[in-house]
Structure 1
């Protein structure tokens, strides 16, 4: 029996926000976690673009079932100098048959992203009046591997 309090609020819609590429330092194992430090990168979209500031990263944890849990904090610098804090969690589910290829730094970017599940939930924080609208944005991202790092297609949930 359907609960009568449930309302139709419409479908969740998204709008492309930007594409993000994060160049990564060599991983640092820290107990059960691995730090993938951000060495730089870029982002580009219809309403904002710029660079990834060196120094953030992903404090990832690999579970025995092949899933990586993400704990990412990055600083973005827009093309006009504004700073934006970007944080997100997420899940990267890597099937057993792809784990060796994904672990190989020479081949990992060649793995077809259709073979794994890699989703994030970006949130933003800035003091810039020009980008204050980001403070109220909830995002969703689809991740994939690139040569030297990781990339995401990020959308704003409307």
Structure 2
């Protein structure tokens, strides 16, 4: 294959920690099997986030309208509201994919074993974007970020990194 002559060498993608977040979850709501898979709502009950430039709480009321595809993969559709320690509100949205290998699915379905599975054994990635009217955090409106997810008891957690 010949490389197109218009392709330029550009810098590799680099990231830096934006924050770690834990989203506490309400009991799941099974919306049911539809034309694209099984839809389940995981409602956000609260939580917290902290990083070098911002910290605060995850407010109740958002959640993940997750779609479990027939092939076993989960597609995320998340909307959350973050409140910083100084009262600013930030709208956080992200999609993503959670791919659990077939040999781990039984353990991930078990209410106790799922927290013992090493997150390195599954693929759980997100692409958070932010919106805020707060002048102090307006820089977030222009940030592209990526996240790595994992399960913790009663919650889901992510390491979120800004693409720099």
- Same fold by TM (over 0.5)? yes
For 1:25-64, what aligned pairs fall within 5 Å after superposition?
25-31=26-32, 32-64=38-70
1:18 alignment partner in structure 2: 19
For structure 1, which segment, 23-32 or 78-87, has the greater mean C-alpha deviation from structure 2 after superposition?
A: 23-32
Provide TM-score, normalisation by structure 2.
0.94
Q: Does 1:8 align with 2:9?
A: yes
Provide TM-score, normalisation by structure 1.
0.98
1:111 alignment partner in structure 2: 117
Alignment equivalent of 1:68, drawn from 50, 55, 74? 74
Gaps of 5+ in 2: 33-37
Shift of 1:9: 1.4
Q: Which whole-Å CA distance do the structure 1 matches of 2:138 and 2:79 have between them? A: 18
Shift of 1:106: 2.5
**What is the number of equivalent residue pairs in this alignment?**
158
2:130 alignment partner in structure 1: 124
1:81 alignment partner in structure 2: 87
SS of residue in 2 equivalent to 1:54? coil
